[in-house]
Structure formats: C-alpha cells, structure tokens
Amino acid sequence: MVSSRKMHLHLGLPMSSERATQSGGDPFGAQFAHCGSGDSPPQSESGGLAVVVVRYGDWSGFVMEPTSELKIDGTVIWYDSDVFDSMEPRLFEPEWLRDIGSLRGSAQGRNEAYFLSYSGRDMVLRHLRRGGLVGKLNRDRYICTEVGKGRAMREFTLLAWMRSQGLPVPRPIAARHCPSGLFYRADLITERVPDARPLAELLQERALPERNWIAIGAVIRQLHDLGVHHVDLNCRNILLDACERAWLIDFDKCGRREPNGWKQRNLARLRRSIEKEKRKCKRFNWSADDWSALASGYLVGGEPQGR
Ligand SMILES: Nc1ncnc2c1ncn2[C@@H]1O[C@H](COP(=O)(O)OP(=O)(O)O)[C@@H](O)[C@H]1O
Ligand SMILES: [Mg+2]
C-alpha cells in the first residue's frame, strides 16, 4: 500500500537555555568574502526546508516544512518536497541507479556512500551501517523504534535544523526507514557538497594554508556553540570545497547535548584522527602549527546568524 502526505516534523530538544530563533543569513559571508558567488553556503534554506522554532516550556523544538512522507508497505520515506514533487522510492536502490546511469561513484567509509546524479541534482546516498563488534555480526539492522527516532530520520532532522542555523552541513534530501520484524534498516540522501574533498585526502597531497585551518576551527566552534555533539569528528568528516569553505558531514548518532566535556573530547578525537593518518601515510602534510591555527579559529568562532 502506498500513501503520501505533507507533514510537519517536530523534534523536542532538551536545551532549555536556548532562545527561540528563526533561520536566516550567511554567517560565513565575511570569512569567505574572497569566494565567488557560485556555491553559496547554507543560509536560510531558500527553496529548502523552512524551519520554525517553537517553544514548549523548558523544551525547545522546531517544525520543518515542507517535508513530505511516503509510506510503502511499512517503509517510510521523508523527503524535501522543495526538491522532489513526488518521491521516487528507487532512489535508495544503488542497482536501479546503476541501471539508469545515475550512479557516479562511491566513497570510502563505514557506511556505503554512493554519489548519484538524478533530476539535475548531485546527491550522496548512504546506507547506514553499524560499527564496532556488533557491526561484524549485524551489519545494518537496528532495533525497532518509532519512525521519528530512527537513525536516518534523526540525522535528516538534525541536518535540516543545523542548516537553518547557518551551519555548513549538507542539505538533507530524503531519509528511509525500513522496518523488518524486530529491526529496521535506514538510509539517508543528502545533497552532494559541490567540489568538496575530505581533509584527510587533501593533506595527502599538500599542506593547507593557515586560513583553511582557522576556518575549520571556526566552523567546529559554531557547531559546538549550537550544542551539537559530533560523535565522530575526524579528518574524513570535514570537507573543504573549491572556495575553501569548511563543511561538516556524517551526523549519524549525533545530537544536541548539554555541555559536559564532550567539546574537548570532540577536538581531541579530531587531533587523534589527524595524527593517525600522519602515521599511516607516507606523505601527510600536517604539523603542530596547523593545529594551533585551528585552535585559534576555534577560539574566535563566529556567531551564526539567526541565533
Ligand atoms: N554531502 C556530501 N557531499 C560530498 N561528499 C560527501 C557527502 N556525504 C558524504 N560524502 C563523502 O562520502 C564519504 C563517506 O560519507 P560519510 O557521511 O562520512 O559516511 P561514513 O563515514 O559513515 O561512511 C565522506 O568522507 C565524503 O568523502
Ligand atoms: Mg564519515
């Protein structure tokens, strides 16, 4: 059975101290003033998911629109209806994408990430996978939960919210939640950040100028100022685009938290990941001075507009 409807998503967030705000503005305008106007960083989601923040007593939450929902035999798909008038469910199927010539390649990582081009838009499809020991036995099944709490839906919602706050994170396009018995599988489609490469890859080729490290530090600080804990902040989850903008990706299992030391742990994890790559790669252009530049960017930060 197929059903489709427009919906309002709501996410309650335990951040009682937060002011209710609305989206808008380009917080990176000054930082990247030298860039061309082509690939504008995320701002008020013109043509994207509009986000309205609402307050519920001690809880802040937000409602996103326009998001649509498609249900097919128990599978639920949420999608940005500013991107697609109607959702093609086979967009989540790499074999189908290959057959129609939409597959452009894949990327390394814990999850399967496929680059695709469909309807004039470049996107990334990720099939969410479990990590660690559990992942060896059970690669991609999660214990059943209500749809809105599913892994893909949570990442979809968090990304939309972060973009509304001006953070440079990919635009969420669609999320799929597929229950099967006691479990569910999950997939997410985001818009591909144009001309962007992971930090780890770039450093194997060349050293980065100080301004890039400062920009990376500033973006991490903005993420932290919004209370978002990135559980896997590493040098593969930071992208730099052709305009030298820093982007953060891979928000599976991430969310907003009250501060209790995780910010420092995020930074320590990032540094460990850089040091690990340096040990692994014959040529890896990174030095302690680069970390100092990142730290100085972090200290200065920057206030995303709309807060
Ligand atoms: N929206 C995006 N735009 C550009 N590249 C992306 C995007 N999402 C993922 N990638 C690429 O795919 C790789 C894997 O994606 P990621 O979200 O980090 O999943 P995981 O590490 O869990 O497999 C990234 O390192 C990056 O190279
Ligand atoms: Mg990753």
Name the catalytic one among 232, 250, 252, 290.
232
From 303, 50, 301, 31, select the one nearest 163 (Cα to Cα): 50
Query: Is 232 tagged catalytic?
Result: yes
C-alpha–C-alpha distance, residues 118 and 221, integer Å? 34
Q: Which DSSP symbol is given to 46?
A: T
Distance 203 CA to ligand 2 centre (A): 16
From 64, 49, 47, 67, select the one nearest 13 (Cα to Cα): 64
Side-chain half-sphere of 231: how many Cα atoms within 13 Å? 9
**Is the Cα dihedral 235, 155, 33, 122 positive or negative?**
positive
From 37, 44, 11, 296, select the one nearest 167 (Cα to Cα): 44
Distance 231 CA to ligand 1 centre (A): 15
- The number of the ligand 1 atom at minimal distance from the alpha carbon of 196 is 4
Helix, strand counts (H, E) of the chain: 7, 15
C-alpha–C-alpha distance, residues 218 and 84, integer Å? 33
Is the CB of 237 within 6 Å of ligand 1?
yes
Nearest CA to ligand 1 atom 8: 124
User: Any residues with CB less than 8 A from the CB of 221 and at least 6 apart, and which?
Assistant: 297, 298, 299, 300, 301, 302
Structure tokens given for 221: 């600080």
Find the helix or strand (DSSP H, E) in which 185 lies: strand 183-191
pLDDT tens sequence for the chain (307 residues)? 777 777 766 554 443 333 333 233 332 222 322 343 333 444 333 334 444 444 333 334 554 547 899 999 999 999 999 999 999 999 999 999 999 999 999 987 777 799 999 999 999 999 999 888 877 788 999 999 999 999 999 999 999 999 999 999 999 999 999 999 999 999 999 999 999 999 999 999 999 999 999 999 999 999 999 999 999 999 999 999 999 999 999 999 999 999 989 999 999 999 999 999 999 999 999 999 999 999 999 999 986 543 3
Q: Which of 249, 251, 252, 253 to mutate to test the pocket of ligand 1 (most atoms within 8 A of CB)?
A: 249
Residues 254 and 231: beta-carbon distance below 8 Å: yes
Is CATH 1.10.510.10 what the domain over 196-300 is classified as, yes or no?
Answer: yes
From 169, 104, 196, 178, select the one nearest 140 (Cα to Cα): 178
Number of neighbours of residue 20 by Cβ within 10 angstroms: 11
Task: Considering the chain, tell me which residue range(s) the CATH 1.10.510.10 domain(s) occupy.
Answer: 196-300
Amino acid found at 289: D
